[in-house]
Amino acid sequence: MDHRANLLAYLSTVDPTGRDPVSGDRIELDSLGLLQVVNYLEDTYGMKLSDLALEPDDLRTVSGLLTLIDRHAAPRP
């Protein structure tokens, strides 16, 4: 599964203005957008982010999100 492609496709739908929030590796979203990303990660990858010791920057870059997915995604049957 290509997590990067799926993540980028999802992120392109989050900003209500239609602007792509990804600039290079950086993700520029307001707090509501970040909450949507957290919900996406939990629903899509079976993660429980509230159980993890996260730094704010973990959610502000594509590479940070991909690291979270790689380390904490629930195994698929």
Number of domains making up the chain: 1
- Report if residue 57 sits inside a domain: yes
Q: Two tokens at 67? A: 């690291």
Q: Read off the pLDDT of residues 25-68 as tens digits, 9 standing for 90 and up.
A: 999 999 899 999 999 999 999 998 888 888 878 899 999 999 99
Instruction: Say whether pLDDT at 1 is over 70.
Output: no
Q: Provide the pLDDT for residue 77.
A: 67
- Report if residue 63 sits inside a domain: yes
- Report if residue 10 sits inside a domain: yes
Instruction: Say whether pLDDT at 6 is over 70.
Output: yes
Query: Which residues make Cβ contacts (< 8 Å) with residue 8, sequence separation at least 6?
Result: 22, 62
Q: Provide the pLDDT for residue 25.
A: 94
Query: Which residues make Cβ contacts (< 8 Å) with residue 26, sequence separation at least 6?
Result: 60, 61, 62
- Report if residue 77 sits inside a domain: no
Whichever domain contains 53, its CATH number is 1.10.1200
User: Count of residues for the chain?
Assistant: 77
Range of the domain at 51: 3-72
Question: What's the pTM value of the predicted model, to 2 decimals?
Answer: 0.88
